[in-house]
Amino acid sequence: MARFRPHWFHYVAASIATLLATVVGVLFYGLLYLHWFTNLTYSMPVGLYRLRPVDHLARGTIVQVCQSPRAAKMSINREYMDHGDCWDGSDALLKEVVGLPGDRVTVGASGVCVNGRRLPWSEPRGLDSRMRPLKPLSGTFVIGKAQVWLYSPHPRSFDSRYYGPVDRSLIRGIGVPVWVAAMRRDV
């Protein structure tokens, strides 16, 4: 015997299917034409971002950046990231600009200081999450004319504290949050 479903059930099912198709369509359109991208790592808030051209960089700007050759090689070899569409086959990172040309950055066991201001959660680690040795930088650096210092407010982030200042030419754009979750530092 056929099971009876109320007449309204078909309208609800069709409405849900239409809503889901619309959401998928909007996301597809956003990814293709609005330069949206996702961040699924815990180094920066997980979520959806829009990439816009770099017009001006300031401290606190979130950027999408390809890594320097040295950092990219280490990231891929250690499986910190997947292969991507950067010049060297690595995936782009999402980081915060904390140092600009002329800034003085000091890296030590207690963390990173930019112009005397200590950054939270910036203490370099001697081991990565798989207990492999890391060689963080140590010392004081003055950021060059075409460079920036990148940071992520996560204790396990792979950022400039390990590979130093980054050439501005490696920045692909500014990451504008569209929808992001709260930052997690416990993973």
Report the sign of the C-alpha dihedral through residues 117, 59, 46, 132, in that order. Answer: negative
- Beta bridge pairs of residue 114: 105, 117
Q: Which is it for strands 111-114 and 171-180: parallel, antiparallel or unpaired?
A: unpaired
Residue-wise pLDDT tens for the chain (187 aa)?
Answer: 566 666 666 677 777 878 887 777 666 665 555 688 888 888 888 888 999 999 899 999 999 999 887 787 787 778 777 777 887 777 888 999 999 999 999 999 999 999 999 999 999 998 888 899 988 899 999 999 999 999 998 888 889 998 899 999 999 999 999 988 876 655 5
Domains of the chain plus CATH, in order, are 35-180 (2.10.109.10)
Of 144, 163, 50, give the one whose Cα is nearest residue 102.
144
Residues 48 and 155 sit within 8 Å (Cβ to Cβ): no
Q: 68 in the Ramachandran plot: left (φ > 0), alpha (ψ -120 to 50) or beta?
A: beta
Q: What pLDDT, on the 0 to 100 scale, is given for residue 20?
A: 82
Q: What pLDDT, on the 0 to 100 scale, is given for residue 34?
A: 61
Compute the distance between CA of residue 67 and CA of residue 149 in angstroms, rounded to an integer: 12
